[in-house]
Each structure stands twice: as C-alpha cells, then as structure tokens.
C-alpha cells in the first residue's frame, strides 16, 4: 500500500463532531422505514459526476459535497428504477436539475445555510439539515472562486424553487450505527482523516473530512471524495459517523375519511418529522413535546397499535393539537 501525505491538507478542518438528542438514529428513535432499496449495498453504478470542493477557493464544505453525492446517487437509483412519477421527472428537467444526464444539486446554495466557518467547517447535522431543506440545480448557483459565501448570491427565485422542490420530494437523514445495513438503504456519508494513496488507506490523526461511502468489502469501505483523487479505499476501522438518506415522493392523495375510519384510536407517526398523534373522535390529535420519557411512551404505543404516514399524508389528515 502506498499512502501519500498531502501537505496542503495537514491543517484542514472541515468537520465538527457532535450529535443532538433529537437526531434520528436508525434502529432506535428513527421513524424512517426499515426498507432496503439495494440489497447488494453497492451504489457504484448510480454515482453522479465528480465535483470538486476546492477549485481555487477552499469551501470547507466537505459535508455538503459528500451529502449531495449520496443524495444524487440515491436520486439516480430512483430514476433508473422509474420510481419517480413522469410528471415529476419532467418538472426536474424543466427546472434545470439535470446536467449531462445526472441529477445535480447546488452545493453552494445549501452551504449558505449550514453555518460553515472557514478553517473549521460545520457539524454533520447542520450540513445535512441544510441539504434536506435547500435544493436547487447546480447551474442556478454554481461554484465560484470569488465570494462563494456572499449572502447576496441567494435570491428569492432560488428560495421559491427550493420550496417547490420540497412540495414534491421530502429528504430525510439518520445516523447509522450498522453501516452494512445502512448501505442497503442508501450510500452513506461518513467522516475520516483525509489521505490520498493506493491500496487500503489507514490514516492516523484527527478526523477532519466528510466523504461518501458507496460500497464495502470485508476489509474496506469504498470512498468517493471531492478532491482530485476521487476513488479511494479506507480500512474499516478508519471510517466513522455514518449517515444514510431517504427520499419520500409526495404524490399520494389520501382518502382521509377512509383513513380515519380504518385507524380509529390508533397512534400515528410522521415518518419524516417523527411527530406523533392519535386518531380520536374523527380527527388526528397531534402531540407536541420534547419530553424524552413521553416520546419513549408514545413510541411504544405506536409500535403496539400504530400506523406510519409521510409528511405529505400527515398534512392531508384533519388535525388539531391535543
């Protein structure tokens, strides 16, 4: 194995580490369905075009670039399998989301909302919350060497298009404590110590960089990086803090009367926001609480006698706060 040190990256700090108690964790508190889109766990054929996070200006946005690599890969998988309605594909095309046949989101746009600090980067959760909420085409706000983080670059037109996107698609993310299971759901974002080289890399030192994991073998994870050397392999003990993604297509129109009649007295959970409610007296009575004990109890009640709906469906059900 040949592992090269990159002097220009010795002082690079693109990631802050930390989680919030409200973050979704797969297999624990996450409402996201435990469905597997890709049983092989190999996303190589769906990867998007290679994009660099530094083309003369260091963005410190590795978590944005790597997260969008994962999300664009997931979108390409859905498109390949014709899982996105034709009218939505046309909407994406008409609004410029495709380049050279690949879906391509603007990294720079989402980076404006991720609290990225030059020299230190940002937190994984801040980057991914920006990714799920601010999605416009790359060509609408592309990479620039000058004034990358200039706030005036964000226009009302961009914000309106991002809201239109969210009407059609809902993005979620969750921490993955079992990467092998996570890879069956989506490609994974992860955190590493930056290194270049051949063979299986095992760089020591402080974690400082976000990348995409698109497959694994017994000894290594296959990495997609946003620097000149795109393809790498890392030893499995040298990759951390995995995140998976989900795509919900907001297309279903509910028969809300039928849903309420069939689910009377059942607990309902929003798979995209995690919020709980219960069907009582012909209406969805929603619960708003940050009390962890109450949330644990609601989770148990929902598992015992509950149904899960998308955020789009949730919004269609007549509701009132309990």
pLDDT in tens, 262-311: 999 999 999 898 899 999 988 999 988 888 888 888 888 999 989 999 88
The pLDDT of residue 63 is: 98
Distances (CA, A) of 117 to 59, 66, 143, 227, 258: 9, 17, 17, 19, 50
**For residue 164, how many C-alpha atoms fall within 13 Å in the half-sphere facing its CB?**
14
Task: Record the tokens describing residue 317, joined without a space.
Answer: 């059900």
Angle of CA points 125, 129, 134, to nearest 5°: 150
Task: Record the tokens describing residue 214, joined without a space.
Answer: 């698109």
Q: Tell me: pLDDT of 204 over 50.
A: yes
Q: Tell me: pLDDT of 34 over 70.
A: no
Distance CA(260)–CA(283), nearest Å, equals: 7
Q: Tell me: pLDDT of 4 over 90.
A: no
Summarize the confidence of residues 150-178 as an average pLDDT: 96
Candidate CATH numbers 3.10.105.10, 3.90.70.10, 3.40.50.300, 3.90.1300.10; the one for domain 3-249? 3.90.70.10
Task: Record the tokens describing residue 215, joined without a space.
Answer: 């497959």
pTM above 0.95, yes or no: no
What are the sequence ranges of the domains in the chain? 3-249, 256-321
Q: Does domain 256-321 have CATH number 3.30.2390?
A: yes
Residue 58: pLDDT band by 50, 70, 90 thresholds? Answer: very high
The pLDDT of residue 291 is: 84
Q: Tell me: pLDDT of 239 over 60.
A: yes
The pLDDT of residue 1 is: 47
Summarize the confidence of residues 228-238 as an average pLDDT: 98
The pLDDT of residue 135 is: 98
Q: Tell me: pLDDT of 55 over 70.
A: yes
25: which strand partners? 175
Q: Select, from the ranges 16-20, 93-97, 150-154, the one with the highest average predicted confidence (pLDDT).
A: 93-97
Distances (CA, A) of 308 to 24, 33, 248, 276, 320: 15, 9, 13, 9, 18
């Amino acid at each position: 194995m040949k592992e090269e040190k990159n002097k220009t990256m010795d002082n690079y700090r693109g990631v802050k580490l930390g989680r919030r108690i409200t973050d979704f964790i797969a297999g624990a508190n996450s409402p996201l369905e435990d469905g597997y889109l890709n049983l092989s766990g190999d996303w190589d054929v769906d990867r998007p075009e290679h994009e660099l996070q530094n083309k003369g200006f260091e963005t410190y946005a590795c978590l944005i670039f790597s997260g969008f690599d994962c999300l664009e890969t997931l979108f390409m998988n859905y498109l390949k399998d014709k899982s996105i309605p034709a009218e939505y594909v046309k909407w994406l095309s008409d609004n410029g989301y495709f380049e050279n046949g690949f879906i391509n989101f603007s990294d720079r746009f989402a980076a404006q909302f991720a609290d990225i600090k030059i020299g230190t980067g940002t937190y994984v959760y801040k980057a991914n919350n920006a990714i799920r909420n601010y999605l416009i085409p790359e060509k609408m706000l592309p990479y620039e060497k000058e004034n990358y983080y200039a706030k005036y670059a964000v226009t009302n037109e961009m914000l309106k298009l991002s809201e239109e996107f969210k009407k059609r698609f809902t993005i979620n993310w969750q921490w993955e404590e079992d990467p092998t299971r996570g890879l069956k759901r989506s490609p994974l974002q992860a955190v590493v110590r930056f290194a270049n080289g051949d063979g299986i890399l095992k760089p020591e030192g402080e974690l400082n960089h976000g990348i995409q994991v698109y497959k694994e073998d017994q000894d290594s994870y296959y990495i997609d990086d946003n620097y000149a050397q795109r393809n790498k392999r890392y030893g499995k003990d040298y990759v951390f803090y995995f995140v998976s993604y989900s795509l919900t297509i907001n297309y279903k129109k509910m028969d809300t009367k039928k849903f309420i009649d069939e689910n009377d007295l059942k607990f309902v959970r929003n798979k995209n926001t995690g919020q709980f409610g219960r069907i009582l007296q012909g209406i969805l009575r929603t619960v708003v609480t940050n009390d962890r004990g109450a949330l644990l109890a609601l989770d148990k009640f929902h598992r015992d006698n509950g149904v899960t709906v998308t955020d789009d469906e949730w919004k269609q059900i007549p509701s009132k706060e309990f």
